[in-house]
Structure 1
Amino acid sequence: MTSFSSPPAPSARIELRRGGVTESAHQGTAVVADATGRLLHAWGDPGLLTFPRSSLKPFQALSLVESGAADGLDSAHLALACASHRAEPFQVAMVEAWLRRLGRPESALVCGPAFPMDEGDLVDAARAGGKRRVFHNCSGKHCGFLAAAAAFGQPGGYERPDHPAQRHWLDALSDLIGRDATALPRGTDGCGLPALAMTMTDAARAAARYAALAVSDTRREAAIRRLLAALREHPAHLSGRGRPTERIVAATEGRVLLKEGAEGFVLGFVPERGLGIAVKITDGATRGKMALFATVLGRLGLLPADRTAELARAVEAPVLDSNNHVVGEVAALPLA
């Protein structure tokens, strides 16, 4: 076990290989903690301060559930509230229907207009009129905050740090990290909502306690249980169909849940063992983070070696030439 007094362990390494030669490499940090707060494993610096970004959406969604605004919503909506979606048609349709349910126009979403991420959907959107707020990858989260804001009696201004919907999830995060989350460094996320910075260790601890339902009251425990079930039942809503999140949940038969964040971050929840996993590619690269996450799962014995290697390959796009021929790969090196 790595302790705070120990020097940082060697970083994880992710390589892009072309023709069997390492063309470039990324360094990564991976931290594993349990629900008691113990730091079990660390590759790289567990004290690295960074922004988990969208990986915190399952925590932010506690405002939606605990306010009562999720009463009458199904688990697919809860997953969408935690999503960084790609604006696939089924996701857009859900956001539009949710806005109608709330009686709010698309302009009520604080997130800015965007295009869908998949090429065919982008072309269709351009032909239909261009960017829309419902296409933004955080529009599900913003629907959740719109609903929570109304339940808290302040339907406008949910992006303000002092809004009850923002204060509520910070109270929940404080419960999970064991100290006042409002004192954490703060910035602004790409969607216009507040973003918090924390150490890799705190992120892993919060995920572990979330996974283990290690909270102070039964209402919060029930809310987390609902959200974990939504992540397990609807992994495609969190990102997209056939995406790495869905593949990892399927490969682990729902024993491992996860949420991606921007700038190379991934947060994992292992309910059956009360573990939290935080992964960060230090330079913010997207490529390599899922291979590293899969490699950590193998190191923890959550997958056998052969399936770990298979999954690590499956969750990283191969290197292609202009004719779509595979000419290289992205791989995470084994962890000591």
Structure 2
Amino acid sequence: MSFARLAEVWRGPCVESVHHGVAAVADATGRVLHARGDPGFVTFPRSALKPFQAIGLVESGAADALGLGDEHIALACASHRAEDFQVALVRDWLRRLGLGEEALVCGPDLPRGAEDQAAWLRAGGGRSRVFHNCSGKHCGFLSVARRIGAPAAGYDDPAHLAQRLFLAAFSELLGRDAAALPRGVDGCGLPALALSVGDMARAAARHAAAAAASESRRDAIRRIHAAMRAHPDHLSGRDQPTSRLIRATEGRVLVKGGAEGFVVAFVPDRGLGIAVKIADGASRAKMGVLTMLLGRIGLLDATAAEALCEAVEPPVRDSNGRVVGRVAITLPQAA
């Protein structure tokens, strides 16, 4: 494998850390148009797969049967921070299903934001499954199970019909049988698939282009795009790098991050998919790399890319909040 030097972290006059990784841009025909590092590197996209996992929620009719709105669909694609509006949606969703939080396979957690967490603990609250960042995705799988008449219990089993429906949709966009991919277990307890960074970019491009055989699947994918575009805060939290990037591009670029330094982007009007993996698993730098890559391929002009990079990669600060360093994206020219 070969990794490119994608970012440096400067403290004052010196480089303190370096992030290497892989970045790939592909189109819906399967061509990798740009690559930094080896796009054949196989890894886990983790939560970057959620916009693919949400296809069954819409295509099966489960979302409409429950009267779910685009905000629920966005939450199914989310790695949320358990902010007030997100928690309210999860609880509303479970109410529509007639289920308690114990039906969720994801483990109990606390809100991610320091202030939200402190307020909850001061009020005497404890960990809850609705606070887990993947609880929207899990509600989506429970909804699919309900719609197709499968049991709610066991929806985390790869053999469960709801999981098999996801694999069928992902296989079409991937261009081969996704059930044959290496499989692990995600942090939330659901199956986690591994594939190359290049293949993830290809699948994202086909998702972006809604390149599916059936009209029902094409419509489902377009509805997911519309939900992500209309509700960018739902995908992570208020004024987070994900929502800043989506808003800065006026929804032309849709973004979904994954754990361990992964992020994927969908560009529907160009039929492009972008995948970035930071090799050391750091979340730092991945959004900046994505942003500067958008500039390199002409989706942002150079000035806008630089400004947006500063918005999604905060400077290094000391404990008093003073700026003492920066994250510099060192994205090499395409090979």
What's the TM-score, normalizing by structure 2? Answer: 0.96
Task: Find 1:320's aligned residue among 312, 317, 322.
Answer: 317
What does the per-residue CA deviation read over 1:283-306, in whole Å, with 9 as the maximum and x for residues that have no partner?
101100000000110001100101
Structure 2 stretches of 5 or more lacking a match?
A: none
Question: For residue 93 of structure 1, what is the aligned residue in structure 2?
Answer: 88
Q: What is the CA distance between 1:20 and its match in structure 2?
A: 2.9
Question: For residue 103 of structure 1, what is the aligned residue in structure 2?
Answer: 98
Q: What is the CA distance between 1:335 and its match in structure 2?
A: 3.1
* Distance in 2 of aligned mates of 1:46 and 1:183: 19
* Distance in 1 of aligned mates of 2:131 and 2:31: 40
Give the conservation status (yes or no) of the 8 Å contact 1:63–1:166.
no
> SS where residue 269 of structure 2 aligns?
helix
| Matches for 1:173-188 after TM superposition, within 5 Å | 173-188=170-185
Following superposition, which runs of at least 4 residues in structure 1 exceed 6 angstroms of deviation? none
> SS where residue 285 of structure 1 aligns?
coil
Task: Find 1:121's aligned residue among 108, 116, 121.
Answer: 116
* Distance in 1 of aligned mates of 2:301 and 2:242: 19
Question: For residue 239 of structure 1, what is the aligned residue in structure 2?
Answer: 236
| Counterpart AA for 1:290 | M
Question: For residue 140 of structure 1, what is the aligned residue in structure 2?
Answer: 136
> SS where residue 92 of structure 1 aligns?
helix
> SS where residue 187 of structure 1 aligns?
strand
Q: What is the CA distance between 1:334 and its match in structure 2?
A: 4.0
* Distance in 1 of aligned mates of 2:168 and 2:5: 33
* Distance in 2 of aligned mates of 1:332 and 1:28: 12
* Distance in 1 of aligned mates of 2:81 and 2:205: 27
| Counterpart AA for 1:136 | H
What does the per-residue CA deviation read over 1:174-229, in whole Å, with 9 as the maximum and x for residues that have no partner?
10111100000000000000000000111000000010011111110010010010
* Distance in 1 of aligned mates of 2:293 and 2:283: 17
Give the conservation status (yes or no) of the 8 Å contact 2:45–2:194.
yes
| Counterpart AA for 1:119 | A
Q: How many aligned residue pairs are there? A: 329
Task: Find 1:204's aligned residue among 201, 207, 223.
Answer: 201
| Counterpart AA for 2:210 | L
| Counterpart AA for 2:45 | P
* Distance in 2 of aligned mates of 1:159 and 1:228: 25
Question: For residue 4 of structure 1, what is the aligned residue in structure 2?
Answer: none
Q: What is the CA distance between 1:70 and its match in structure 2?
A: 0.6
Q: Does the alignment pair 1:25 with 2:18?
A: yes
Q: Does the alignment pair 1:11 with 2:9?
A: no
Question: For residue 168 of structure 2, what is the aligned residue in structure 1?
Answer: 171
Q: What is the CA distance between 1:156 and its match in structure 2?
A: 2.0
> SS where residue 272 of structure 1 aligns?
coil
What's the TM-score, normalizing by structure 1? Answer: 0.96
* Distance in 1 of aligned mates of 2:306 and 2:331: 10
% identical equivalent positions: 62
What does the per-residue CA deviation read over 1:114-147, in whole Å, with 9 as the maximum and x for residues that have no partner?
1111001111222332111010000111111111
Task: Find 2:54's aligned residue among 61, 66, 80.
Answer: 61
Bigger CA drift: 38-47 or 320-329?
320-329
Bigger CA drift: 89-98 or 12-21?
12-21
* Distance in 2 of aligned mates of 1:219 and 1:268: 23
Q: Does the alignment pair 1:34 with 2:27?
A: yes
Task: Find 2:146's aligned residue among 150, 155, 160.
Answer: 150
Q: What is the CA distance between 1:38 and its match in structure 2?
A: 0.6
Bigger CA drift: 273-282 or 154-163?
154-163
Q: Does the alignment pair 1:44 with 2:41?
A: no
Aligned-residue Cα RMSD (Å) equals 1.1
Give the conservation status (yes or no) of the 8 Å contact 1:149–1:156.
no
Structure 1 stretches of 5 or more lacking a match?
A: 1-6
Question: For residue 75 of structure 2, what is the aligned residue in structure 1?
Answer: 80
> SS where residue 70 of structure 1 aligns?
helix
* Distance in 1 of aligned mates of 2:90 and 2:174: 31
Give the conservation status (yes or no) of the 8 Å contact 1:295–1:335.
no
> SS where residue 95 of structure 2 aligns?
helix
* Distance in 2 of aligned mates of 1:217 and 1:252: 29
What does the per-residue CA deviation read over 1:65-107, in whole Å, with 9 as the maximum and x for residues that have no partner?
1221110211100000000000011101110111111100011
